[in-house]
Amino acid sequence: MLPQRSAVQFILTKVLACYLAVTGFVLCVFITWSYQQYQENRQHVVQQLRSSVETVIEQTPDNNDQLLASLTLGTQFFSRDFASVESFALLDEDGSIVFSWPNQAQLDATDSSLFQLLAIQNSSFTLALAFPKWPLYQVVINNLPTAMGILLLQFVLLLAVLAVVIKRGVRSGFEGFMRELSLVCLERPTPLQAHSFLGQFGEYRQILDGINRVILSLAKSREEFSNINKSLESHIKAKTAALEERNQELVDLNQQLSVIANTDALTQVYNRTRFDVLFLEYVMLARRRVTPLSLLLVDLDDFKKVNDRFGHQIGDLVLKHAAQVIQKEVGEEGVVARWGGEEFAVLLPYFDLLSAERKAESLRAVLAEAHFEEQSIQVTTSIGVAQLSSIETGPELLKRADDALYDAKGSGRNRVIIAYVEENHAQLDSDSLMEGEFIEVFDVEPVPIQDEPKASQKHSS
């Protein structure tokens, strides 16, 4: 198990170590450079001072007073060049002090072991130089601005090193951590593994343990939610199935109610109520599209005799089977409805009067040839035919078809009567009539031909 350390302690330790290492390196470089500068400066001062003294002695070989005056004046002008020299003196051949700098008291206070004796060429004089006992201290003091600049550069380098360490260490560790976290599968969760570098820090370990606990908790919650979701799905499916079954029952019931409401219970064709609605719709459709619309009113002849002879139950069966024959003959070309009693209405969209007459004749012939029930009962029909004209309404069409049916029954039954519309009436100028005069128009019905019971008669209204 890796030892757990504080990330803060680690960072501070590394920063301090880097700082001390860089500081030590910089100080070593600075001390070495300062010492070299000091030695070079010392040699330069020695050579300059010896050269200056030799020049002064050559200019005043026998005049000591003038020699002292020249040395005093020279040291005043070049005192800054002697900053690294603690004191110096010019000795004669007897060892007596001819000249001292900066003064006699400073010269006496200087340790004699620090003096360096230099012979003056072409002269009996000797130059004694004394340099400071701790030269490096003086060098550091003199080069303090340079040292501060170097320390500032050291701080910048330290920050750069820290930035590199953080980017390469911490960032790479957390990038790997985030990449591993993105690959976590909650269906089969596996704990995240510690990074080889960051795993030694306690804070990282605590964060990693917390994240692993969250992952396990999420996985557990996901499993619980999955179980709840499955339970809800099964419950919803059961409820949906029950609702669909109930809805289907309602649909079937609604269809049954619709059939009951719109269908005649005995004949299983449309009843009068449904026919009235469809009739108005087809009338409006024919008006809007300017298409033909014809109507057949069919009545079973002498049906009361069937009821009286065979009973009402047999009569109902005959009525039911007759409706089936009519429905089969009309098919998808029209609408069949029970008009009332033994009467049926057949609505023929897109049929003109000639086509409707043919359909009526075909229907009359089929019913006349049919044999109903075990008793082979035969019934004939009377049919009134009318086509919707452009100048009449739906009720007027019904009235003309009903009149035609009445004429068919009055003309001997078992026949088709066509109700024509008289559209070419003479136009009378009412303005030419005198006051009090009026016009009376009489409609004369033709006398039916009795000796042709099955022939079609045409009626003008």
Domain end: 142, 172, 197, which one? 142
Q: Is residue 19 part of a domain?
A: yes
Q: Is residue 434 part of a domain?
A: no
Q: Is residue 31 part of a domain?
A: yes
| Same structural domain, 416 and 307 | yes
For residue 333, is pLDDT > 70?
yes
Between 8 and 391, the more confident residue is: 391
Give the per-residue pLDDT at 290.
93
Secondary structure class of 329 (helix, strand, coil): helix
| Same structural domain, 29 and 50 | yes
Q: Is residue 358 part of a domain?
A: yes
CA 58 → CA 177, 259, 319, distances in Å?
85, 151, 169
Domain end: 142, 161, 195, which one? 142
| Same structural domain, 401 and 414 | yes
Burial of residue 384 (CB within 10 Å: 0-12, 13-18, 19+) is: buried
Q: Which amino acid is at 15?
A: V
Give the per-residue pLDDT at 104.
67
| Same structural domain, 29 and 115 | yes
User: Into how many domains does the chain fold?
Assistant: 3
Q: Is residue 432 part of a domain?
A: no
| Same structural domain, 136 and 17 | yes
Residues 134-181 pLDDT 10s: 565 666 666 667 777 777 787 788 777 777 776 666 666 667 767 777
**pLDDT tier at 114, thresholds 50, 70, 90:** low
| Same structural domain, 121 and 241 | no
| Same structural domain, 267 and 408 | yes
The pTM of the full predicted model, rounded to 2 decimals, is 0.45
**Residues 402, 400, 447: CA angle, nearest 5 degrees:** 80
CATH of the domain at 272: 3.30.70.270
Instruction: Give yes or no: 333 in active site.
Output: no
| Same structural domain, 353 and 275 | yes
Q: Which domain holds residue 40?
A: 7-142
- For 181, residues 6+ apart whose C-beta sits below 8 A from its C-beta are 192, 211
For residue 459, is pLDDT > 80?
no
Q: Is residue 451 part of a domain?
A: yes
CATH of the domain at 36: 3.30.450
In the chain, % of residues over pLDDT 90: 32
| Same structural domain, 25 and 38 | yes
Alpha carbon distance 347, 297 (integer Å): 9
Q: Is residue 66 part of a domain?
A: yes
Per-residue DSSP letter, 436? T
| Same structural domain, 290 and 328 | yes
Q: What are phi and psi of 278, to 5 degrees?
A: -65, -35
Give the per-residue pLDDT at 449.
36
Give the per-residue pLDDT at 5.
59
| Same structural domain, 77 and 52 | yes
H helix count then E strand count, the chain: 12, 10
| Same structural domain, 95 and 235 | no
Residues 356-400 pLDDT 10s: 999 999 999 999 998 888 788 889 999 999 999 988 999 999 999
Domain end: 127, 142, 157, which one? 142
Q: Is residue 170 part of a domain?
A: no
Per-residue DSSP letter, 378? -
Alpha carbon distance 78, 48 (integer Å): 10
Task: Select which of 329, 342, 343, 357 is catalytic.
Answer: 342
Burial of residue 30 (CB within 10 Å: 0-12, 13-18, 19+) is: middle
Mean pLDDT score, 288-309? 92
Mean pLDDT score, 21-25? 77
